[in-house]
Structure 1
Amino acid sequence: MADHYRLGVLPGDGIGPEIVPAAVQVLDAALAATGAEPVEWVPLPVGAAAIETHGSALPDVTVETLDKLDGWLLGPHDSAAYPAEHRAKLNPSGFLRKHFDLFANIRPAKAFEGTPALVPGLDLVVVRENTEGFYADRSTYRGTGEFMPTADVAIAMGIFTRPAIERIARQALELASRRRRHLTIVHKANVLRTSTGFFLEICRELAAGYPEVEVDDFHIDAMTVHLVRHGADFDVLVTENMFGDILSDLTGELAGSLGIAPSINASYDRAMAQAAHGSAPDIAGRGLANPTAMIASGAMLLDWLGSEHAKQAATLVDRGLRTAVASGVRTADLGGTAGTAEFTDAVVAAINESA
């Protein structure tokens, strides 16, 4: 693949305008260290700032431009704080995942050496089906899967289809085959026999084509206990939308902090880098936010892009993050005193020194 990429930059809300530029700074440094062509960054309006300037949290110009790009960085959004008429719509992240069919949400959780991880040695990836399941905002072609037939009855549909399950199962199996060859299917087939039982059945069917991968499965409630007790024993988890969202928040904290929890949302031809955490409005604008998750999400995007230089740069970013943390430069959530800018500068320095 070519080295020249056009990538969108959507800062988002809260701490987004602090951590997204930090990610751009680090990715630029890593790419430069490999000799790659500079990325053409394309700033685009989103979130509360876009409501003020364009009357929409996700203006048409943003969506239309994203369609022409190789991928993008999306900062966290604080849609709960939007005016009521905007809260009633799909939030920016949900809309983009649905509109671009970003069916695979890949969320690694890896502890940093020397940090207070609740599960030392944790190194796993949650592979979350991103387009249906129990998330009503993504489970129907038009509208949502929630409705009220009377004023006293609320109904939510969980949607499970063979094509969606097959493609996420393949993503998880391919990933497991490149890692430690262990896949865990997470479901609730003892109660939700038709829906999550279908998910389990199809994942098992496809796993037969990967004899090198050890496959087991657990109920979602038991899985939370296993992760807390011996999370380091797991490699790749695959599950439906809502279960994956919950488990990946848990694994992020078990690794040390949601501030280090990255993710990408990908289809076959485009990807969106997005930290797993929220917008943290309580510390926004104070320079305290941990940019690790956003930086690591950007590295995942580089790796997904696939060129030799992009993959080399992704490796440099990961190494730079771990070197900075190991040297004692840490934000408050990891027990340190560094601010966003100081930590970012330390990562860039580590990249430059190791290149």
Structure 2
Amino acid sequence: MKSYKLGVLHGDGIGPEIVSATVSVFTEAANKVGVDIEWIELPMGWEGIKIHNEPLPEVTTNALKNTHGWILGPHDSAAYPPEHKVKLNPSGALRHTLDLFANIRPAKTMQGIKSVVGEADLVIFRENTEGFYADRNMFSGHGEWQITEDVVVTSGVFTRKAAERIAHAAFKMAMKRRKKVTIVHKANVLRLSTGLYLKVCREVAEQYPEVMVDDYHIDAMAAHLVRRAKDFDVIVTENMFGDILSDLAGELVGSLGLAPSINSNENLAMAQAAHGSAPDIAGLNIGNPIGIMLSTVMLMDWLAERHEDPKLTEVGKLVENGIKKALEDGVKTGDLGGSASTSGFSEAIIERIDSAVLK
């Protein structure tokens, strides 16, 4: 039996509840399949501040380098003390420090969940390390300057290296799906910056002749997602555009609270739901854990491919099918119109995992 070390960062707000629920269902699925997972709990967010006076302590970052991957709960960095607000938030710091360049965010309609766009099944590849996000585009410092009280200048950084590697990741995924990639940019106005991004993505596309390629300006793409989301397969774009489009896509197919993602490079991967920490309902045991659970399914798939271990794929499928069956049976948290608690929803999934027949 192969053994895996997975980090667990509970985070803030509803984080401890939904992450604990996630660990419980994946432990059940792993035991059923015969996969040994060691869960390593590490401080982050308010817990990190209380213990180490840092929302992302160095001990946590160092420990994560020696894991196979990890689950990152949501953080409430907006509420941190002033001395911590000026720093990168835990998510941004991990992406930057560990060079997790690919933020992969699927948006897929689910039975039992109302969608405003009919059926859709797409994946957005968001470049994670530069672009217009000032907290991630510098080796040291931040990409914003306040010249006077009334004047602010901000920078965007675009490199061939970053565009190439996210493009390759997107095209490799497209080869496993419907073989179509859409490049999103604003090269008609930002001619040098997103113009370089578009040019490099088009160059990478030549290495994947089986894949159909098109491209859209970001504003047009937002409209196309609303009108015909089902027509898109893999979308690749820069940091800020990807953040906006993936949130839009998540809402269009059901709810941002259901939206999963992973952040990865060639060696490490982090499961992270797209939603926030919802501090107003923290501790009430009513948060929806589906987003972080599906993110962890993605993590299992990533690990399965990297370590050539199909049993990890089985673990993910057990949990994903358990979620689908629970929803089909009407077991839903309050945000989806149901009455199940966070722990109650996870227990329903565990029941369905236990009753599942392995092939």
Shorter-chain TM-score range:
over 0.9
Provide Cα deviations, 1:262-282, integer angstroms capped at 9, x if missing partner: 100001000111000000111
Specify whether residues 3 and 119 from structure 1 end up closer, same or farther in structure 2 by C-alpha distance, changes over 3 A only: farther
Task: Determine if contact 1:207/1:215 at 8 Å carries over to the other structure.
Answer: yes
Higher mean alpha-carbon deviation, 218-227 vs 307-316, is at 307-316
How far apart, CA to CA, are the structure 1 residues paired with 2:118 and 2:327?
15
Task: Determine if contact 1:3/1:309 at 8 Å carries over to the other structure.
Answer: no
Alignment: residue pair count: 353
Provide Cα deviations, 1:119-154, integer angstroms capped at 9, x if missing partner: 221211110000001111110111111122344321
1:41 shift after superposition: 0.7
Counterpart in the other structure of 1:213: 211
Match of 1:324 among 326, 329, 354: 326
Alignment of 1:99-248 (within 5 A): 99-248=97-246
Task: Determine if contact 1:76/1:279 at 8 Å carries over to the other structure.
Answer: yes
Alignment of 1:303-318 (within 5 A): 303-306=301-304, 307-318=309-320
Counterpart in the other structure of 1:18: 17
Counterpart in the other structure of 1:33: 32
Task: Determine if contact 1:224/1:247 at 8 Å carries over to the other structure.
Answer: yes
Provide Cα deviations, 1:317-350, integer angstroms capped at 9, x if missing partner: 2211111111111112222221111111111222
**2:346 pairs with 1:347:** no
- Helix, strand or coil for the counterpart of 1:5? strand
Higher mean alpha-carbon deviation, 344-353 vs 94-103, is at 344-353
How far apart, CA to CA, are the structure 2 residues paired with 1:318 and 1:181?
24
How far apart, CA to CA, are the structure 2 residues paired with 1:171 and 1:49?
34
Give the aligned CA root-mean-square deviation in angstroms.
1.1
If the length of structure 1 is used for normalisation, what is the TM-score? 0.97
Alignment of 1:239-278 (within 5 A): 239-278=237-276
How far apart, CA to CA, are the structure 1 residues paired with 2:183 and 2:322?
32
**2:6 pairs with 1:7:** yes
Structure 2 portions without partners, runs of 5+: none
Residue 154 of structure 2 aligns with an amino acid whose one-letter code is A
Task: Determine if contact 1:262/1:294 at 8 Å carries over to the other structure.
Answer: yes
Counterpart in the other structure of 2:284: 286
Query: Which consecutive segments of 4 or more residues in structure 1 shift more than 4 A?
Result: none
Task: Determine if contact 1:102/1:267 at 8 Å carries over to the other structure.
Answer: yes
Match of 2:57 among 51, 59, 63: 59
1:3 shift after superposition: 2.5
Provide Cα deviations, 1:36-73, integer angstroms capped at 9, x if missing partner: 22x11111111012212211111111111112111111
How far apart, CA to CA, are the structure 2 residues paired with 1:152 and 1:102?
35
How far apart, CA to CA, are the structure 1 residues paired with 2:64 and 2:40?
9
Task: Determine if contact 1:249/1:258 at 8 Å carries over to the other structure.
Answer: yes
- Helix, strand or coil for the counterpart of 1:282? helix
How far apart, CA to CA, are the structure 2 residues paired with 1:333 and 1:244?
25
Structure 1 portions without partners, runs of 5+: none
Residue 295 of structure 1 aligns with an amino acid whose one-letter code is M
1:206 shift after superposition: 0.8
- Helix, strand or coil for the counterpart of 1:210? coil
Match of 1:337 among 336, 339, 358: 339
1:242 shift after superposition: 0.4
How far apart, CA to CA, are the structure 1 residues paired with 2:67 and 2:34?
22
Percent sequence identity is 57
